[in-house]
Chain A
Amino acid sequence: MGFKQFEGADEEFNLEQMEAETEQMLRLRYINKDNAVFARTAGGFVSLDLNESIAPEHYDRIRVVRSFPFTDRDKYISIRTIDEKSKEIGMIKDLSTDVTPETRQMLEEQMDIRYFTPVIKKINSIKDEYGHAYFDVETDQGPCKFVIYMNSSSVVNLSDVRLLISDLDGNRFEIPDYTKLSARELKMLDLFL
């Protein structure tokens, strides 16, 4: 487990070790099927064994983070420790080529949890009520009703056609291509475009 950063009480101060740590921090380490083995754990997480030339590393649990969650979902996947500091263990350059399909599946499951975002399929109504907008939509996760603040960054353009909508609690909803919505839906959405 990676909880040992500040247990220095009985541990002599070691400048060399610290410098090695810093150096490691500044290094971009790539992970691929040759040097890493990912495995599912009983608790529903993923563990990692890293066969580094100096010393093998083992992580009971890892965190999987996208570097470009909006623009490049499958590349530059950062594998990090799960403690609050969340240090990078290594990076997978390309999920489609650098790891086995099983590993990819495993990691994608983890990322699906992390980046869970219902996709809006249909807009039933949007009502603008005094600083708030009341949404009634159909998503791939079923019908949802939520409220957003107006006049703020609740609706973000991720690209020319893609929208990310955040509700009062920061729950996210995505419209992958708003130009594909019907004229009626567009009219309701027009306030935010």
Chain B
Amino acid sequence: MPGKDVVVGKKKKAGEASVRPKEKIPASIRSVLEPYFPNGDMDEKVLICTETDMNDKLEFTLGYLVLCKERILVLVSEPVPGEVHFFKGRETLASKAQTVRREWTVKEYSLTDMKEMKIERTVGGGFLMLVHKNPDDEEADGKAEVIASFSNHRIGQTTRVERLCEKIVENEEIEEDEDEKEEEFCPICGMMYPDEDRKICPRCMNKKSILFRTLGYLKPYRGRIALLMLCIFVYSGLNIIWPYLNGKVLYDKVLAKDDAFIESFGIPGGKYVLALGILVLTMLGTKILMQMFGIFQGVITAKIVPDLVRTLKTDVFSSMGKLSISFFTSKQTGSLMTRVMSDADEVTGFFIDGLPYFLVNIFTIVSMAVVMFMLNPVLAVAALVFMPIAFLISWKMLPRLWHRYGRRHRATRSLNSKVNDNLQGARVVKAFGQEESEVGRFDKSNEKVRSADMAVLNYDNKFSALYSMAENFASLTVYVIGAFLILKAHTISLGVLITFTGYVSQLTGPMDFMSFFFRWYTNCMNSAQRMFEIIDAIPEIQEKPDALKLDHIDGTVEMKNVTFGYEKHKPVLKNVSLTVKSGEMLGIVGRSGAGKTTIVNLISRLYDPQEGQVLLDGHDVRDLSFETLRGYVAMVSQETYMFMGTVAENIAYARKDATREEIIRAAVLASAHDFICRMPDGYDTMIGSSGRELSGGERQRISIARAILANPKILILDEATAAVDTETEQAIQQSINLLIKGRTTISIAHRLSTLRDANTLVVIDEGKVAEQGTHEELIAKKGVYYKLKELQTKALALKGIE
């Protein structure tokens, strides 16, 4: 199998993780199997041994498939009551190594009359079916029996058995199964990676490293951040001084007419009004300073944040561009993308607003506590004792509040999407007269938002009530004890008490912040992690470091024994081989879903085949540089995407340096020139999401002009005229005929008439090449193509069209 090792080899390289020790046959079942290998040749005979996880009663239990060339042994264990069943990502090295005594049932099936071994998939798994052949007895031929059941967790392993059986049936040479991909486990916690291609253990991922990595983005702003911190520290320092001035100094020194104190500031004793005036000025000055530093801080933040957000977003976006197309189509990353942009804000917000304040708050709490203890330890304890309680309350309550916020957010989002849905579907709503019921649907969502809102408010109120109660308790205790100390014990003065109450009220802020901070921290780390996931994602389609750059290509395209599936275990193409000679046209026909588009996706290397090779001028496309590949291959597909910009920019999308004349020439060849000139703004007309709406045919013509201008050696036409009316199709067909001259063309079409000029036609059926040949050959063959052709012409003839 040429090329087979390429894909697998590449992925295996990266692993520094613990790989489960490779043993073909697990030790735990060797003794069970021994009687079936009386010659002691178990290791030589067994081709593959894979796990299953269900018995025929659909109970979860461990089982094995042991495949030999002429027979398959199916082991199923008796379910162990209470045994935990592990699914993907949950298995650990420890759970794997577990040795429970099991009762095994072994069934042996001969494969000598195997017609086929087939997996039939169900919703949550599948079963393995052995189909027998019996050429002598038509009744018995094709009889199938179920030999094993498994959940989706084991479908990958079972697919390997299916594939090997296919080779046994075809009598192909069977080599050691090199495709075998070991399950890999996190070296720290021993748990299986959720995604074997990305060796990241979500549980053990170094959260610190994310923090420091994110901090790395702040490096260019070191100076400003130092300044920012300074501002914040000065601000909070002044914040500590304020209650002191306001309480102790005002009441105990100035109002208490403390001459010694006043004189220590160089004010003559007895001049209390002057002292008061100076104190008031100092207090005023403190407040003004605080405000000033507050403003400074705001200005510096405003300078850093947008810059940082931009850097982060650019980083994410440029990494996104490098990713393979499969990344964009896979579901879980799809939602990832949309979140990324808001993630950048989240991360920046945390680092600019969260982290500095965290340090400041720690500083504030500690220094206030120190000052308080210095003033009066008893009162300090009274003031601080409620703080942990307040902290605990917020710590306990905040997550729930958070959840409620989350629910409100989701409800609002769903309401928004409902509105959006309605606006987009306005035509349908009106056509079916469903305005009333749409109002009803809207109301339902609206009601959800209302109730979520109420939940937030209710909880918020409870939260604030409890929180302020704790605060009030603290102040009350301080007042009571303080009053007692003043009146009875005479150990403190009024000023101290007022200073203390000032501190108590100022402490609640930092405490509140701290309880909120940890949640914020995890949220931010989550956002950062999602961003890094994209920044770090290794594209499945990668350019080789020493990729070939070709100055000239002839344009011969060849597919050799290609097998490919978007999901690993569901092949869309099975062993497809085809060749297009330079300058010739290949037509691909087949029912929708047969795998036609997949073929062109592989040729333009949007995906790599799992088996086999795609060759361009005899070079594996995986060896070619992207520049060569994308420069020589262009595609016109059904999906005509117009980017935001002018018509001219859209035509020159692939060749930014095209002159105006070239653009017009391309438009003329694509029969787009006329309609472009009819538009008031001509080639400067803005199109794309915010611009003028073009019809399907117009868009198609612009995309053809785009391809003409790109001047590719290899042209791929994927249902290029499927979305337009017959008249437009005729016009476009003419443009295409001009376009394909001198190029290797691969054209997919439903309408066989479009492929009249094809040198070779390939009929794809169920992922395989069903027929191949010229139009005449295929007609003479009276096969699938003939049938399709007849169907199309007769159907048209019936309607009197042709």
Contact = CB atoms under 8 A, between A and B. Distances in A.
Interface stretch (A31-39, A49-57, A71-79, A114-122): A114-122
A113 B122 contact: yes
Given A116-B124, A145-B86, A145-B87, A168 B194 contact: yes
Contacts of A147: 87-90, 194
B242 interface: no
B4 to A, nearest CB: 24
A167 B332 contact: no
B60 A45 contact: no
B407 A141 contact: no
B124 A112 contact: no
B662 interface: no
Contacts of B129: 43
Given A141-B60, A168-B194, A151 B336 contact: yes
A149 B336 CA distance: 11
Interface stretch (B76-84, B300-308, B421-429, B612-620): B76-84
Contact of A142 (B79, B125, B794): B79
Contacts of A112: 58
Interface stretch (B27-35, B142-150, B274-282): B142-150
Contacts of B58: 112-113, 116, 141
Nearest to A151: B335
A15 interface: yes
Contact of B85 (A61, A82, A144): A144
A143 B331 contact: no
B120 to A, nearest CB: 8
Nearest to A168: B88
Interface stretch (B214-222, B246-254, B642-650, B780-788): B780-788
B702 to A, nearest CB: 35
B791 interface: yes
A40 B258 CA distance: 105
Interface string B662-704: 0000000000000000000000000000000000000000000
Contacts of A152: 331-332, 335
Contacts, number: 159
A145 B89 CA distance: 9
A149 B202 CA distance: 11
Contacts of A26: none
A114 to B, nearest CB: 5
B203 interface: yes
Interface stretch (A88-96, A100-108, A129-137): A129-137
Contact of B152 (A69, A127, A170): A170
Contacts of B146: 43-45
Contacts of B89: 132, 134, 146-147, 167-168
A1 interface: yes
Most central of A60, A112, A151 by chain B CB within 10 Å? A151
B473 to A, nearest CB: 27
Most central of B87, B127, B407, B525 by chain A CB within 10 Å? B87
Contacts of B787: 6, 8, 13
A129 B60 CA distance: 26
A80 interface: no
Contact of A115 (B81, B123, B149, B400): B123
Contact of B59 (A6, A43, A141): A141
B526 interface: yes
A6 B784 contact: yes
B529 interface: yes
A18 B791 CA distance: 9
Contacts of B152: 167, 169-171
Contacts of A130: 202-203, 205, 525-526, 529
Interface residues of B, number: 63
A109 to B, nearest CB: 10
B85 A169 contact: no
Contacts of A143: 82-85
Contacts of B533: 131
B87 A117 contact: no
Contacts of A44: 56, 145-146
Contacts of B450: none
Given A113-B127, A131-B202, A168 B87 contact: yes
A9 B129 CA distance: 29
Contacts of B205: 130
A43 B336 contact: no
B87 A142 contact: no
A172 B123 CA distance: 8
A6 B770 contact: yes
Contacts of A129: 202-203
Contact of B88 (A69, A141, A167): A167
Contacts of B144: 43, 45, 61
Contact of A193 (B124, B127, B407, B770): B407
B536 interface: no
B88 A13 contact: no
B403 interface: yes
A153 interface: yes
A84 interface: yes
Nearest to B339: A151
Given A9-B782, A142-B79, A146-B90, 20 more contacts: A8-B782, A8-B786, A8-B787, A12-B782, A113-B122, A115-B123, A132-B89, A134-B90, A141-B58, A141-B60, A142-B59, A145-B86, A147-B194, A151-B335, A167-B87, A167-B89, A168-B195, A169-B88, A169-B151, A172-B123
26 contacts: A8-B782, A8-B783, A8-B787, A12-B782, A15-B790, A43-B129, A44-B146, A82-B120, A115-B122, A116-B58, A116-B151, A117-B123, A129-B202, A129-B203, A132-B202, A141-B60, A142-B60, A142-B82, A143-B84, A146-B87, A146-B90, A147-B194, A151-B332, A152-B332, A167-B87, A169-B151
5 shortest A-B CB distances, which residue pairs?
A: A147-B89, A146-B87, A43-B145, A169-B152, A145-B90
Interface of A: 1, 6, 8-10, 12-13, 15, 18, 42-45, 60-61, 69, 82, 84, 112-117, 127, 129-132, 134, 141-147, 149, 151-153, 167-172, 187, 190-191, 193
